[in-house]
Structure 1
């Protein structure tokens, strides 16, 4: 069953999905390459939803493409926010808790992966929206 990705405003041009993955109480973050849009910031494994793809299909694909890891389980939505992409398109990111299969992180699009403990979150360079969805995901624990 496909997940409904219609925006209530009807203005969103692109949807992005992200996953909050935890190991030993820490969250997986990926650092954007310096030459990329918003280079040098940390973000969650994420990416855009392709045409004909459900949110969950996109989430599984993007996490695997960016980390080499497979998503074992997708949990509850922990937040959503809108932003303008590099091309100016209004984009909505929807973020879910995810459980990953064991294995090493293999980077393809980022220059660093880091498991960040909650006490370190305020010291990491990331968007405030990302910081908030991570904190929301961790409030269940």
Structure 2
């Protein structure tokens, strides 16, 4: 019988500027999957909702203030990673206050969804990019 996996919940944001470009960041050297591009975000800590974790991560990583009411769920990915099971939750956000600056001096780029589709990204991010692309081309 399989043992129960340990779940790792991670939130990510597709921050979309007034031109429709989306912010991506490069994973730093020394971290797993270094050099790959990803959406900003991070782990959901004990006692946090995914939304509150994303708000916290965006403030810590980018120095911006996002309200939970201004983030909208888009898609999720589920992927085994080492001895855990990753559940990656992608949200879309078009409204924040503050100037985006990387706290870890990460490479940041504002790109079109088409350009993001061509980036080297972690395995769980690929399906999210496709779902985000569909969501952006077919707004509800």
TM-score interval for Structure 1 and Structure 2 normalised by the shorter chain? 0.7 to 0.9
Matched with 1:131 is 129
Closer/same/farther in 2, CA of residues 40 and 57 from structure 1, 3 Å limit: same
Q: Counterparts in 2 of 1:1-141, with a 5 A limit? A: 11=5, 13-23=7-17, 24-72=19-67, 73-75=70-72, 77-85=73-81, 87-109=82-104, 111-127=106-122, 128-141=126-139
Stretches of structure 1 lacking an aligned partner (at least 5 in a row): 1-9
Any idea what the Cα deviations from partners look like across 1:100-141, whole Å, max 9, x if unmatched?
424332212462111111231233221423422432442345
Equivalent pair of 1:70/1:100 in contact (CA under 8 Å): no
Q: Which has the higher strand share?
A: 1
Alignment partner of 1:20: what SS?
Answer: strand
Provide the aligned C-alpha RMSD in A: 2.1
Q: How many residues align?
A: 130
TM-score for both structures, normalised by structure 1: 0.79
TM-score for both structures, normalised by structure 2: 0.80
Stretches of structure 2 lacking an aligned partner (at least 5 in a row): none
Any idea what the Cα deviations from partners look like across 1:16-67, whole Å, max 9, x if unmatched?
1111110111001011013210011111111111111111111100111111
